[in-house]
Amino acid sequence: MKLLQKFYDHGEVDVSQLLSVLPNITEEHWYAWQGRNEPTIPFLFMPNFTPPFEFDKIVSYRQPSWLEDIVLPLGQNLEKKFNGRILKLMLIAVEPEAINGYFHIDPSETLTMVHRFHMPLVQSDLTRYHVGGEEFAMKVGHWYEKDNTLIHAVVNYAEPRQRRMTLQCDVLPLDETRFDLIENLYPRT
């Protein structure tokens, strides 16, 4: 989505419960769903990710309840804040050899219509997020949103590299036509 700034920190949320159960996520959990190239655990996913959106077709994946009960509220808080609907909510584990991302612009028209949030779950001072020619560090437990109409990437400069775990949530705003709403959600810094 085109934003007023390149990058926003939407604040910290309590992820202590999620961090405490991450070691219990098995390789079987990570690789059970083959919808992406990297290990992914989806919770909600719009199967036909093109407009017009049909919310009754959102697929809820039956994850272990101990994990789903922790993750779903984190995305639902974004739904409330942005008066929207979750189109995608998933845990992603990017393998060490895949961490050095390529610079790209999200190609889908759909992705320019949604808020794309990422929350890092593994701290590394050497992981940097690049958006529109600027470099940003991200803290564990903070929801971040970038202007995905600009060139962006994630680059891990650390050696040895470790698996980078991220919670991703895409929210379609239901009413974001008023500029005052946008200004309140995205204060200029």
Q: At residue 130, what are phi and psi to the nearest 5 degrees?
A: -110, 130
Please tell me the CATH superfamily of domain 7-184, with its number. Answer: B-lactam Antibiotic, Isopenicillin N Synthase; Chain (2.60.120.330)
Residue 138, judged by CB atoms within 10 A of its CB (0-12, 13-18, 19+), counts as buried
Helices (H), the chain: 16-21, 27-31, 65-81, 179-185
Per-domain residue ranges of the chain: 7-184
pLDDT at 139: 87
pLDDT at 182: 43
Q: Please answer whether residues 29 and 160 qualify as being in contact, where contact means their C-beta atoms are separated by less than 8 angstroms.
A: no
The DSSP 8-state label assigned to residue 140 in this structure reads: T
* pLDDT, tens digit only, all 189 positions of the chain: 888 899 899 999 999 999 998 888 888 888 777 666 677 888 877 766 566 556 666 677 767 788 888 988 998 888 888 888 888 888 887 666 554 567 888 877 777 788 889 898 887 777 778 899 999 888 889 999 989 889 988 776 766 556 667 888 888 887 654 334 444 544 444
Closest to 75 in 3D by CA, of 67, 85, 65: 85
pLDDT at 167: 85
What is the amino acid identity at position 49? F
* DSSP H or E segment with residue 170: strand 164-173
pLDDT at 105: 86
pTM: 0.81
The DSSP 8-state label assigned to residue 125 in this structure reads: T
80-89-28-98 Cα dihedral, nearest 10 degrees: -130
Between CA 52 and CA 48 the distance in angstroms is: 9
